[in-house]
Chains A and B, each alone.
Chain A
Amino acid sequence: KNQVEQSPQSLIILEGKNCTLQCNYTVSPFSNLRWYKQDTGRGPVSLTIMTFSENTKSNGRYTATLDADTKQSSLHITASQLSDSASYICVVSGPSGTYKYIFGTGTRLKVLA
């Protein structure tokens, strides 16, 4: 069964600290993995997109890593800001042409001043 599991379910950190979010998936084969940031009540916004051949992708203070062998990905946030408070969703796409998108349930991050 194709699944995407994220951990932790929720996380609270202080402003300026770093954190790492985890995503484990069983989707196989897959074409790409994406991390989205979703503010409460808003649509998800793409942070990074990685194909199976990429190991790391950065977008400002966000760095995603991918290990296709262990089917694990992480999203590292550096020097967190209050505006980073949101849900972070990992999405794995099935093989190109199948148009299948498997969503994780997300990690809710709260950054405190």
Chain B
Amino acid sequence: DAGVTQSPTHLIKTRGQQVTLRCSPKSGHDTVSWYQQALGQGPQFIFQYYEEEERQRGNFPDRFSGHQFPNYSSELNVNALLLGDSALYLCASSGVVEGREAKNIQYFGAGTRLSVL
């Protein structure tokens, strides 16, 4: 049973470019959350997707957008990249599996390290 997988693992972009990060949730999970983690800081909530819709959003500008597909996988898109967007981007999934897991227990992927030059 695969856990949460993210791709790519590392990415280097220049200012002004656009980037797409991908996440496949843990098998059976239907909810995907995205976080931005700057070096030495705790993760900051970007948004959460459920049933292909953005359900909650943190304090991030509209340059950050996302999408969830029918198979529950998700993408995070960032437009007009800034130097300050350099961070580890984490994807977390949650959901009920065989009725035993609480819906709000998250499992994290290994993250995508984005460097903006």
Q: Of the candidates B4, B42, B56, B109, which one forms a contact with A106 in the assembled complex, judged by CB atoms under 8 Å apart? A: B42
Once the chains are docked, how many angstroms separate the CA of A45 from the CA of B106? 10
The smallest beta-carbon distance between A104 and chain B, in angstroms, is 6
Query: Are A105 and B41 within 8 A (Cβ)?
Result: yes
Q: Which residue of the partner chain B has the closest CB to A49?
A: B105
Can you show 29 pairs from A to B with CB atoms below 8 A apart? A31-B102, A32-B102, A32-B104, A41-B88, A41-B111, A42-B110, A43-B90, A43-B108, A43-B110, A43-B111, A44-B43, A44-B108, A46-B107, A96-B103, A99-B31, A99-B33, A99-B55, A99-B56, A99-B103, A99-B104, A100-B56, A101-B33, A101-B106, A103-B42, A103-B45, A104-B42, A105-B41, A105-B42, A106-B42
**Residues in B lying within 8 Å of A, measured CB to CB:** 4, 6, 31, 33, 35, 40-45, 48, 55-56, 88, 90, 102-111, 113
